[in-house]
Amino acid sequence: MGAELGIYKSCVSARSTDKEILKASQDGGIVTQLFGFALDEGIIEGAIVAVSKDFYKKYPEKCMACYADDTKEPFRPIPAIITTKAELMESRGTKYNISPNVSLIKEATRSFGLDKVGIVGTPCQMQAIRKGQLYPIGLRDVGDKIALAVGIFCMENFPYQSILQLVEDHAAMSMDSVRKMEIGKGKFWVYGKRGQVVQLPLKVTHKYEQPGCHVCLDYVANLGDISTGSVGSPDGWSTVFVRSKIGDSVWGKAMAAGCFETQPIEKVKPGLELVSKLANEKISKNKKTLEERATFGVGKALRNPYI
Amino acid sequence: MAPQKPADVAAKVETTKKEVKPVVDKITVGHVHMSGCTGCLVSLADNYGGLLTILDKYADLVYGLTLADVRHIQKMDVALVEGSVCINDKLSVQEIKETREKAAVVVAVGGCACYGNITRFGRGGQQNQPAHESYLPIGDLIKVDVYIPGCAPTPQQIRNVCVMAYLLLKGTKEQKDLATAYLKPLMMAAQRGTTACFCDLMTEVINQGLCMGCGSCAAACPVRAITHEYGKPQGQRDLCIKCGACYNQCPRSWFSFDVVSSYEAINEAIMAALQ
Ligand SMILES: Cc1cc2nc3c(=O)[nH]c(=O)nc-3n(C[C@H](O)[C@H](O)[C@H](O)COP(=O)(O)OP(=O)(O)OC[C@H]3O[C@@H](n4cnc5c(N)ncnc54)[C@H](O)[C@@H]3O)c2cc1C
Ligand code: SF4
Ligand code: SF4
Ligand code: SF4
């Protein structure tokens, strides 16, 4: 196990000690618990998260909704800035389609006037904010206000219409009847509100993936202050990498405050070996895509963003 | 800054000369003002204490309208050029050429110098030079080494380039390597071209199958021309002022793992340099 897991100071399997959080969190409620703690402690004054239409109905002024559809469709993530615990609780759970969370990073420091901003995002979104800190081309006075960046593991993401097709056409459920979606154990799971569960093999989902994901070389959010995902830990638990100085400090304080119960990552099944295996699979598959792009046409390459 | 009488300036020069511990290894920097709104210069100044540290420890300002009492472009290590060049104005054309001759490194600071930006929309007819109507980014007239896009470019981006330019010219081997790696994408941007638009995201990112919907472009746009629909950027192209911030902020326009992965150490080094 090496570079594919990024640099980290510590790694554990963890879950929130707050039963309320766990009721609707995707996995161990790590993201919500961290932001909740950081809000309480004044480490952040607000956080950029992905919410859904119910949140929009209550707090439209906190959302970045540009088009009418944004606010109507179930499981359509809407980037939003939460500043209270109540708002935070409504952001729990993964929405498996694109939420441009970074689009709010400047606005958080402007209209919302936040000096200490939290943000959750996929590995590519962590790359975006670190590029933005080092090369703040259009992000004046933003970089040093990013107080806690929580990365979530990510194998791929989907356009909203792909999710529609997967749920409605393949799984034959209506979007409104879905309680939760999940990718795990080699399957795409759709859990209905009435208790029904449909699973699709991942080979069905591949063609629906966002193309931009096929050049992505990061699985476990190497550039988050803390990054987390379900893979590697038992059901209901999360794998957590503590990476930066900020991450280390926040994690230490949250642990001391009793926010999390943890198990050594070496003791849990399937453990880091699986994380490492999936990370390597993703990276080598996408490196191959980049190679293929180099000879895509006849003497013509597709662009490679990496320099 | 109020214009200074020659006597005041002479007095200042006297005091500088009396510095007990002169810093010998400073680089020389000039601010060359072409057709720009002075927003870039204000951004540079908005580094406040950081700017003073830069001028104190790393750079001597040898040329700059209202800032340094010299009329003509001086020999300098780094020229920070703000604004595009009005090709109907002989003096501007002459000055930009002179800048290239006299500066080791030419940095285009801001959207106008890099891409024309808002000056692309100039149509002339303004008093008292109604015939001044044609504006070109400096890269259409001279070779440019480094781009700092954005309207206005951010104080932090200008600061980072200044610190890196110093390390490149005066640093240890290790510092030179870091500065080279850091500046490389901004040098590549200078080679890439002199036009910018929201359309760059369409042609170079989305059409190329690279967009992943992070939202950086919308955050970077100074005129809020970009929103996202179903996670992908939509530009109101009539609002776009052609500054190049969106494209250059996008992690899928260019991205250096070497540099960005060391973000923590580099940020710390820059902050330490400004202490
Ligand atoms: C597209 C996608 C793919 C993923 N793939 C994997 C994977 O392959 N392996 C793995 O282990 N984990 C994956 N995850 C992460 C996993 O699903 C959980 O989000 C993560 O474990 C956090 O769970 P939690 O209980 O700690 O978070 P919670 O406390 O439930 O909070 C989840 C947080 O994620 C935010 N969020 C939800 N949807 C999005 C989105 N689309 N974009 C950005 N932020 C969002 C919410 O706003 C909320 O703050 C993926 C997540 C996404 C969004
Ligand atoms: S696979 Fe990569 S590019 Fe796609 S959403 Fe996940 S982190 Fe972003
Ligand atoms: S910054 Fe680039 S990758 Fe991110 S949403 Fe905009 S175009 Fe897509
Ligand atoms: S869309 Fe906005 S950021 Fe992009 S070039 Fe136009 S004005 Fe600049």
List residues bridging with B84 in a β-sheet. B35
Q: What percent of chain B has pLDDT over 70?
A: 91
- Secondary element (H or E) of residue A239: strand A238-242
pLDDT-based confidence at B24, cuts 50/70/90?
low
Pair B168, B232 in one domain: no
pLDDT at B70: 80
Ligand 2 pocket member A94 (CB < 6 A): no
Pair B157, B232 in one domain: no
Least confident residue range of A104-108, A140-144, B11-15, B237-241 = B11-15
* Cα–Cα nearest to A121, from A50, A54, A64: A50
- Tell me if B113 is assigned to some domain: yes
pLDDT at B103: 97
- Tell me if B269 is assigned to some domain: no
B183 to chain A: closest CA residue: A135
What part of A 155-214 touches B (C-beta under 8 Å)?
Answer: 157, 159-161, 210-214
CATH number of the domain that residue B138 is part of: 3.40.50.700
Whole-number Å distance between alpha carbons of A104 and A81: 8
Question: Which residue did the predictor score with more confidence, A36 or B11?
Answer: A36
pLDDT at B2: 45
A98 to chain B: closest CA residue: B231
pLDDT at B15: 39
Cβ pair B210:A157 closer than 8 A:
no
Q: Point out the ligand nearest to the CA of residue A137.
A: 4
Cβ pair A223:B261 closer than 8 A:
yes
- Secondary element (H or E) of residue B33: strand B27-33
Pair A248, A200 in one domain: no
- Of B162, B192, B222, the residue that ends a domain is B192
Give nearest CA residue, ligand 2 atom 5.
A157
Half-sphere exposure of B164 (CA within 13 A, CB side): 26
- Tell me if B206 is assigned to some domain: yes
> What is this structure's pTM?
0.94
Is A62 buried (19+), middle (13-18) or exposed (0-12) by CB count in 10 A?
buried
Q: For each successive 10 residues of chain A (307 residues), what is the average pLDDT?
A: 92 98 97 98 98 94 85 93 97 96 97 97 98 98 97 97 96 95 94 96 96 98 98 97 98 98 97 97 98 97 97
Pair B145, B249 in one domain: no
What is the number of structural domains in chain B?
A: 2
A98 touches chain B (CB under 8 A): yes
* pLDDT tens profile B113-165: 999 999 999 999 999 999 999 999 999 999 999 999 999 999 999 999 999 99
Residue A81 and residue A39 in contact, taking contact as beta carbons nearer than 8 Å: no
- Tell me if B272 is assigned to some domain: no
Question: What string of DSSP letters covers B74-110?
Answer: PPEEEEEEESBEETT-HHHHHHHHHHHHHEEEEEEES
Domain that holds residue A59: 7-157+214-294
A132 to chain B: closest CA residue: B249
CATH number of the domain that residue A163 is part of: 3.10.450.750
* pLDDT tens profile B38-74: 999 999 999 988 989 999 999 999 998 777 778 889 8
CATH number of the domain that residue B213 is part of: 3.30.70.20
Ligand 1 pocket member A155 (CB < 6 A): yes
Pair A188, A235 in one domain: no
Least confident residue range of A16-25, A88-97, B22-31, B85-94 = B22-31
* Cα–Cα nearest to A93, from A153, A48, A52, A65: A52
| Cβ–Cβ pairs < 8 A, chains A and B | 179
Residues in chain B: 275
Whether pLDDT at B184 is above 90? yes
Pair A45, A167 in one domain: no
Domain that holds residue B188: 27-192
List residues bridging with A63 in a β-sheet. A80
Pair A201, A255 in one domain: no
Question: What string of DSSP letters covers B198-211?
Answer: THHIIIIIITTT--
- Tell me if B109 is assigned to some domain: yes
Ligand 3 pocket member B235 (CB < 6 A): no
3-class secondary-structure state, position A228: strand
